[in-house]
Structure 1
Amino acid sequence: MTKAEQWKFRPVFYFEVMPEGYEYGMGFYEGRPAYMQAFRKKVDAAPDAFERLVKDTAKMKEFVLYGDSYKRPMGKGDYSPAVMDWYQRKSLGLTASREIDDLLFSPELVDFGNRRFAVFSRIGGFRCGRLGKIIAYVWIPKGDSCGGIK
């Protein structure tokens, strides 16, 4: 498998702008069975830490968990329903959507995005161990001072 094909099996962070709004999130689009088994082993090794992470994410109320679930129960099944919702996934991700708003065009968007991507990094780190650097590219139209940023 080439490196270009491997992206589907790693955590993917995204920020997408569309005419009707914008979305941001993270996902593991094709979690291979062995990869998801490794994830469940990490949950099994630190269930309290993962439960806190799940609860912290749920408090934000903006994210929707997605991904296909296994038909048969995986693992012991003795975790809270919130943890089991994650545990039972073949692949998983979090996404949030917003309508076009002033935040999208303000310098505060960078801090907003960094806080969200920090949440995703915690989940991704739990999932696959250590993550590499996250590098963000920001496109600013020529001639737009964007709050003083050039």
Structure 2
Amino acid sequence: MFQGFSDRTIDFMWGIRFNNEKSWFEANKESYLRDFYQPMREMNREVWERLNAAAPDLGLFGKVSRIYRDARRLHGRGPYKDRLWWSIQRPTDEEFPRRPVFWFELEPEGWSYGMGYYQAPPVTMAKFRRRLDSNPAPFEKLARQVKQQGRFTLEAECYKRPKGDPGPLLGPWYNARSFALSRDHQGHQAILYAHDLVELVGEDLETLLPVYRYFISLEGDPDPRD
């Protein structure tokens, strides 16, 4: 059962940031496993249980990221990440950024969580725009609910040339190449150290299930580019 993170968790993240080398990591590996990876894994499991109970038909599964960087993409950085995140998503052959996922991330400066579609396939976003063109009401309702709840902020990577102007509510969505609904926190508040974190994150992510369902439903639409 998730009991919260601890001051040791935060100390480890800052430690690996300033001592990003194998000798330091190996000397502190027990702390990594006990204070960082294990609570992250327990939290992921409990939030997954909540989302899976709310949407059993989706077949969701959870996964915690590796702390090891891809050796092909170090670019002068150390071999370890100074943060961890977990994700919850449906089984798919697509790479992680090319599918919608729920996520939580803990880093030295703070923490965040939400739902992201970080490298949405162009055909998916083309299907999305076609749906908005033909019947904007269903997604307009979802977008309005997200905005009114005020829990998440839409972070969108938009096309350089706008695809259209469906109005201020849907415009940022319509012109997005990829997006995330994110709730960001600077610093490490007391809730990080308690089981209440599971309740907060689980409850908030559950409110995004309708948006998640909407985007995965696009898979069945015909390619509008044909």
Closer/same/farther in 2, CA of residues 124 and 81 from structure 1, 3 Å limit: same
* Partner amino acid, structure 1, of 2:207: V
Task: Note if 1:44 corresponds to 2:138.
Answer: no
> Once structures 1 and 2 are overlaid, which stretch shifts more, 27-36 or 56-65?
56-65
What residue in structure 1 maps to residue 171 of structure 2?
84
TM-score, with structure 1 as normaliser? 0.72
* Partner amino acid, structure 1, of 2:193: F
Q: Mind listing any 5+ residue stretches in structure 2 that lack a counterpart?
A: 1-91, 219-226
What residue in structure 1 maps to residue 182 of structure 2?
95
Query: Partners of 1:52 and 1:117 in 2: how far apart?
Result: 18
Please give the per-residue CA displacement for 1:7-35, whole angstroms capped at 9, x wherever unaligned. 22110221011233211022111122111
Structure showing greater Rg: 2
**Displacement, 1:61?**
2.8
What residue in structure 1 maps to residue 46 of structure 2?
none
Counterpart contact for 2:156–2:172, Cα < 8 Å: no
**1:81 partner SS:** coil
What is the correspondence of 1:22-41 to structure 2 with a 5 Å cutoff?
Answer: 22-41=111-130
Equivalences, count: 127
What is the correspondence of 1:60-139 to structure 2 with a 5 Å cutoff?
Answer: 60-75=149-164, 77=165, 79-98=166-185, 99-129=187-217
Q: Supply the RMSD in Å over aligned alpha carbons.
A: 2.4
**1:100 partner SS:** coil
Query: Partners of 1:63 and 1:106 in 2: how far apart?
Result: 22
Please give the per-residue CA displacement for 1:99-131, whole angstroms capped at 9, x wherever unaligned. 31122222222221122212332222111218x
**Displacement, 1:6?**
2.3
Counterpart contact for 1:66–1:93, Cα < 8 Å: yes
Query: Partners of 2:95 and 2:192 in 1: how far apart?
Result: 31
1:8 is aligned, of 94, 97, 103, to 97
* Partner amino acid, structure 2, of 1:111: E
Task: Note if 1:56 corresponds to 2:145.
Answer: yes
The percentage of aligned residue pairs carrying the same residue is 32
TM-score, with structure 2 as normaliser? 0.50
**Displacement, 1:55?**
1.6
Higher relative contact order (CA 8 A, sep 6+): 1
Query: Partners of 1:67 and 1:49 in 2: how far apart?
Result: 20
Query: Partners of 2:110 and 2:96 in 1: how far apart?
Result: 25
> Once structures 1 and 2 are overlaid, which stretch shifts more, 116-125 or 84-93?
116-125
Query: Partners of 2:211 and 2:125 in 1: how far apart?
Result: 13
